[in-house]
Amino acid sequence: MFDDVRAFIRNLYPEKDFIALHEPYFAGNEKKYVLDCIDSTYVSSVGKYVDRFEQMMADFTGAKYAIATMNGTAALHVALMLVGVGREDEVITQPLTFVATCNAIAYVGAKPVFVDVDRDTLGMSAQSLKDFLHQHAVLRDGACWNRISGKKISAVLPMHTFGHPCRIDEIAALCEEYKIPLVEDSAESLGSYYKGVHTGRFGKVGVMSFNGNKTITTGGGGIVITDDPVLAKRAKHMTTTSKRPHPYEYVHDEVGYNYRLPNINAALGCAQLESLPLILQNKRELAKKYQVFFLKHEIKFVSEPSNAQSNFWLNAILLADETQRNSFLEETNSHKVMTRPVWKLMNRLEMYKDCFCMPLVNSEWIEERLVNIPSSCFFQSS
Ligand SMILES: *Cc1c(COP(=O)(O)O)cnc(C)c1O
């Protein structure tokens, strides 16, 4: 039934037998920098590549500070601690996300509150957030409280789904109005911009991931970006076991975390960042090819939202209904073309099923129909 789709995808990756959803692309200085690390013996928690990677990330995103971590989930955990999310607090997020978003909220002892997403951006709906705040929020002592649950609302955590920026300026304005810190889960959106500003830069803190399946990879890795020097300093401190600088003494002044990115991972990251413009350009071309193809075949392709420049991390299509989605998944995967449904909504998972939800009409609509299709750079030779 979807023979033509399969043939089209196969044609994009002619040298592949099994076509993965997203493979890393190594064509630059990756081997050179990693070997340099090994030769220097500085493979672990100190070394020049970590500093260099952080500087490159700050330069690329336009953020004043960037603090590398061992993965994106750790970066999210740190970000929520930085803005002061405490136990029993509430953090507003979206149910259509990867589980790490909610897990980070749980790590600090807070609870997710789910507002809906928009159908065009797949990210947090500013309207649903506004409705929630109108119905629940009160300002007291310079903070925002949920007058129904009695809990403090201590962060809003939107996610830029598959690299498509959500309406982040409207969300930022609501956060401003209600005095709630904004943290962006921009794990998927390195190289994505909203109204010309890099995602992750609209709130107090932004977070990115460099896991093996993301736009660029450090093997495992993440980053916290911020313009606030105090938060930046705290982030570095917390992620390095809260050790006070001293020539030889071990003094740790609070419970810290060993969340640093090892130098060998940062070395890989530096090389990957050098290739990022090329990767982004390739992924944009790929998305264009898909868009033209699916338009002809009357399947809805998820295209770039207005006011936004997407990195097109994972391309996605929307099938007519769940039955068609399932046959698409069945047919492509059984023919070694990897496709995946969107994540099961967070409010359906055992550990988050009791969390408060706004009406989730769009999230549910997307959950039934969306499929991710192969999105690796298409010029690679195996
Ligand atoms: C990948 C991802 C993360 C976590 O990143 P890791 O590096 O895998 O820990 C967090 N949130 C979202 C939305 C992601 O896609």
The candidate with the shortest Cα–Cα distance to 81, out of 157, 186, 162, 178, is 157
Q: Check pocket membership of 94 for ligand 1, CB cut-off 6 A.
A: no
Q: Check pocket membership of 192 for ligand 1, CB cut-off 6 A.
A: no
Q: Are 124 and 158 in contact (CB under 8 A)?
A: yes
On the question of pLDDT at 294 being above 60, the answer is yes
On the question of pLDDT at 382 being above 70, the answer is no
Sign for the CA dihedral angle at 165, 171, 175, 180 comes to: negative
User: Which 8-state DSSP code applies to residue 22?
Assistant: -
Q: What is the pLDDT of residue 32?
A: 98
Q: What is the pLDDT of residue 45?
A: 83
Query: How far is it, in rounded angstroms, from Cα 80 to Cα 199?
Result: 17
Q: What angle, 0 to 180 degrees and rounded to 10, lies between the N-to-C axes of helices 3-12 and 322-334?
A: 50
- 187 Cα: distance to centroid of ligand 1 (angstroms): 5
Q: Check pocket membership of 211 for ligand 1, CB cut-off 6 A.
A: yes
Contacts of residue 59, Cβ cutoff 8 Å, sequence gap at least 6:
none
Query: How far is it, in rounded angstroms, from Cα 231 to Cα 240?
Result: 14
CATH superfamily of 3-23+276-346+365-373: Aspartate Aminotransferase, domain 1 (3.90.1150.10)
Residues in the chain: 382
Q: Whose CA is nearest to atom 6 of ligand 1?
A: 72
Give tens-digit pLDDT for 213-247: 999 999 999 999 999 999 999 999 999 999 999 99
Task: Read off the pLDDT of each residue in 308-331 and give the average, rounded to a whole number.
Answer: 98
Sign for the CA dihedral angle at 36, 39, 44, 48 comes to: negative
Give tens-digit pLDDT for 158-180: 999 999 999 999 999 999 999 99
- 306-309: which pairs have CB atoms within 8 A and are 24 or more residues apart? 306/120, 307/165, 307/194, 307/195, 308/121, 308/164, 308/165, 308/192, 308/193, 308/194, 308/195, 309/165, 309/192, 309/193, 309/194, 309/196
Q: What is the pLDDT of residue 167?
A: 98
Q: Are 49 and 367 in contact (CB under 8 A)?
A: no
pLDDT category at 198 given cuts 50, 70, 90 is: very high
Q: Are 57 and 66 in contact (CB under 8 A)?
A: yes
Q: What angle, 0 to 180 degrees and rounded to 10, lies between the N-to-C axes of helices 72-82 and 99-107?
A: 40
* Residue from 70, 94, 98 whose mutation best tests the ligand 1 pocket (most atoms within 8 A of CB): 98
Q: Residue with structure tokens 């039955």?
A: 323
| Residues of the chain above pLDDT 90, percent | 98
| Residues of the chain above pLDDT 70, percent | 99
* Residue from 186, 209, 224, 314 whose mutation best tests the ligand 1 pocket (most atoms within 8 A of CB): 209
Q: Which amino acid is at 215?
A: T
Q: Check pocket membership of 209 for ligand 1, CB cut-off 6 A.
A: yes
The ligand 1 atom at the shortest distance from the C-alpha of residue 221 is: 7
Give tens-digit pLDDT for 31-69: 999 999 999 999 998 889 999 999 999 999 999 999 999
Q: Please state, as a whole number, how many other Cβ atoms lie within 10 Å of the Cβ of residue 367.
A: 19
Listed by start position, the domains of the chain span: 3-23+276-346+365-373, 30-272
Task: Read off the pLDDT of each residue in 284-290 and give the average, rounded to a whole number.
Answer: 97
Q: Check pocket membership of 184 for ligand 1, CB cut-off 6 A.
A: no
Q: Check pocket membership of 72 for ligand 1, CB cut-off 6 A.
A: yes
The candidate with the shortest Cα–Cα distance to 139, out of 177, 182, 89, is 177
Q: What is the mean pLDDT of the chain?
A: 97
- 63 Cα: distance to centroid of ligand 1 (angstroms): 20
Q: Which two tokens stand for residue 302?
A: 């998820």
Query: Is 3.40.640.10 the CATH classification of the domain at 30-272?
Result: yes
Q: Please state, as a whole number, how many other Cβ atoms lie within 10 Å of the Cβ of residue 6.
A: 17
Query: How far is it, in rounded angstroms, from Cα 148 to Cα 376?
Result: 46
The dihedrals phi and psi of 205, each to the nearest 5 degrees, come to -140, 145
Angstrom distances, CA of residue 78 to CA of 239, 298, 318: 8, 44, 34
On the question of pLDDT at 153 being above 70, the answer is yes
Contacts of residue 240, Cβ cutoff 8 Å, sequence gap at least 6:
45, 256, 258, 259, 260
Q: What is the pLDDT of residue 108?
A: 98
Q: Whose CA is nearest to atom 13 of ligand 1?
A: 98
On the question of pLDDT at 381 being above 60, the answer is no
Q: Check pocket membership of 215 for ligand 1, CB cut-off 6 A.
A: no
